[in-house]
């Protein structure tokens, strides 16, 4: 690798980092999360690298995207949850502190490049004390490459389109959650 260019189909890693920062910061500026909240991210490094989802996992791409997002979430004092691919039933990798604080059930699995994906593999290696959990109800989410993170968001999810619509060649969709409105015509709401 030289000058920020990956050897994989001339992917510009510096541009991927820049776009990732832009997406994450825009979402978290539009909908700031409280300290200890969870941001779930699904990422197909194959899609980022201009391949069909699940067909060309890139350790290099998964690692730079993970490191970029993890740095931002640590600075904002929120937890990052990375969604594994369907070979691990979309389990998530989180810090053990997140699992304890949110009372998540830890499961026994380690993601790999072809079973879990490069992004979650990078998280398992890069987190201070990584564990896997089967499900989560996150406060916001980022889907890089149409990985379908909706199952891991709290109700009610509100779609949000960031100014930057792609990371590499992958389509990006974001969401944040809001409290459910309950009651009838006499109800009064705080927000």
pLDDT of the residue at 2: 41
Cα(14)–Cα(137) distance, integer angstroms = 31
Residue burial 127-152, b: 16+ Cβ < 10 Å; e: rest: beebbbbeebebbbbbbbbebebeeb
Strands (E), the chain: 38-43, 79-83, 92-95, 106-107, 130-133, 140-144, 157-160, 166-167, 170-177
Nearest to 25 by CA among 76, 64, 66: 76
For the domain 13-154, what is the CATH code? 3.40.50.10360
Report the DSSP beta bridge partners of residue 166: 171
Length of the chain in residues, anyone? Answer: 191
Other C-beta atoms closer than 10 Å to the C-beta of 97 total 14
| pLDDT number for residue 191 | 67
Per-residue pLDDT of the chain (191 residues; tens, 9 = 90+): 444 544 455 689 999 999 999 999 999 999 999 999 999 999 999 999 988 887 788 999 999 999 999 999 999 999 999 999 988 999 999 999 999 999 999 999 999 988 999 999 999 999 999 999 999 999 999 999 999 999 999 999 999 999 999 999 999 999 999 999 888 778 888 76
Prediction pTM value: 0.91
**So where are the chain's domains?**
13-154
pLDDT for 182 equals 86
**Residue 103: burial class (beta carbons within 10 Å; 0-12, 13-18, 19+):** exposed
Element (H, E) at 16: helix 13-30
């Amino acid at each position: 690798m030289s000058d920020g260019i990956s050897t994989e189909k001339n992917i510009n890693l510096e541009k991927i980092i820049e776009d990732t920062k832009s997406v994450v910061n825009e979402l978290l500026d539009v909908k700031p999360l409280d300290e200890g909240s969870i941001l779930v991210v699904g990422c197909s490094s194959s899609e980022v690298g201009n391949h069909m989802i699940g067909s060309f996992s890139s350790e290099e791409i998964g690692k730079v995207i993970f490191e970029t997002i993890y740095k931002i979430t640590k600075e904002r004092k929120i937890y990052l949850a990375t969604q594994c691919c369907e070979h691990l039933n979309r389990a998530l990798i989180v810090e053990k502190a997140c699992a304890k604080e949110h009372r998540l059930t830890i499961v026994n699995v380690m993601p790999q490049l072809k079973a879990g994906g490069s992004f979650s593999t990078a998280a398992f290696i890069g987190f201070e004390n990584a564990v896997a959990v089967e499900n989560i109800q996150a406060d916001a989410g980022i889907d890089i490459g149409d990985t379908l993170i909706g199952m891991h968001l709290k109700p009610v999810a509100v779609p949000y389109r960031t100014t930057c619509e792609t990371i590499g060649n992958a389509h990006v969709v974001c969401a944040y959650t809001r409290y459910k409105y309950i009651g009838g015509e006499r109800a009064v709401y705080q927000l």
